[in-house]
Structure 1
Amino acid sequence: MGMSGLDYVQIGEKFRFAKTVGEVDVTLFAGLTGDFSDTHINEQYMREKSSLGSRIAHGALIVGYMSTVSTLSIAHIIHKDDLEDFPVSAGYDKIRFLRPTFLGDTVTTTYEVVEIDREGGKSLAKMECTNQRNELIAVGTHVMRWARKLHQTSGTPA
């Protein structure tokens, strides 16, 4: 009998991902998503019109870092031979952007497992993103669902 990935997930486990947000990151993200808001790509506009004084990263880019750290959280589990299920992101709850992320900021995203729901086949994690000044810039909850694998039948393929 195989194991569920949730058998390997532990409340209190923490994972981290850190990345400095550069000019290229924001420009490529704008191109990938089609979000060419002046707040992200027009430095002059932000200097003249915004109280922030400089361009900021897309909030969805920060959510991308949340996704990265969620992947790191299951990397030590997914290739175990006895698993009968596999992880899929079921989404994010209560994401809030508390402060802007400026180009040049280093964002550290922490992922902490806070709840395991074996009956529901999922785990919840608290995510916090801070900048290099240790200011909280974004928070949210990630839901990881463990889905049953399809079992192949024995015999020759048709």
Structure 2
Amino acid sequence: MPIKGVEIGQEFRFAKTVGEADVTLFAGLTGDFSDTHINEQYMQEKSSIGTRIAHGALLVGYMSTASTISIAHVIHRTDLDEFPVSAGYDRIRFIRPVLLGDTVTVIYKVTEIDEEKRRSIADMDVINQRGEVVAAGRHIMKWAKKLSVK
């Protein structure tokens, strides 16, 4: 039986300029206060990059936002008997650093549907404003039976 609301080739996007507040707040939320993210002087003196970079896990958060956008059009449909739930991320790679001030766009594209396992898989590329891929991965969406609400 086909999974309603998802088709191979569907594409969804989320774009965000990575700012000072994003990196600082993310450091506070996660406890990741690495000098690579919060110490400009350190990065100027010690790194080949020359400036602070965003957390890789922050990019995974943006990937999660794109996956949420991918299901926004179906989660409230009354004709669905299944509900999409994130089952995880696979093959996450951080390819290039993301600098504060970069605008990144997550491109979330459904590439596989496994009707037997009731899941869909999407490839995700995160590109910067120069068109460079800065991160990539795959997302697995599980289509679980809806609970009946009385």
Q: TM-score range by the shorter chain?
A: over 0.9
> Which residue number in structure 1 is paired with residue 102 of structure 2?
105
Scaled by the length of structure 2, the TM-score of the pair is 0.97
Q: How many residues align?
A: 150
Match in the other structure for 1:78: 75
Counterpart-to-counterpart distance in 1, 2:56 and 2:69 = 20
Deviation for aligned residue 1:150: 2.0
Offset at residue 152 of structure 1 (A): 4.7
Gaps of 5+ in 2: none
Deviation per residue, 1:115-142 (Å, 9 max, x gap): 0011101000000000000000000000
Counterparts of 1:151 and 1:109 in 2: how far apart (Å)? 34
1:54 to 2:51 alignment: yes
Measure how far apart 1:50 and its partner are: 0.4
Displacement after TM superposition at 1:149 (Å): 1.7
Q: If the length of structure 1 is used for normalisation, what is the TM-score? A: 0.92
Task: Percent identity, please.
Answer: 69
Q: Aligned equivalents of 2:61 and 2:44: distance in 1?
A: 27
**Higher Rg of the two aligned structures:** 1
Separation (CA, whole Å) in 1 of partners of 2:83 and 2:30? 28
Residue 67 of structure 2: SS of its match in structure 1?
helix
Q: 1:152 to 1:13 in 2, by over 3 A?
A: closer
1:65 Cα offset (Å): 0.5
Structure 1 unaligned blocks of 5 or more: 154-158
CA RMSD after TM alignment:
1.3
Inter-partner Cα distance in structure 2 for 1:9 and 1:85: 11
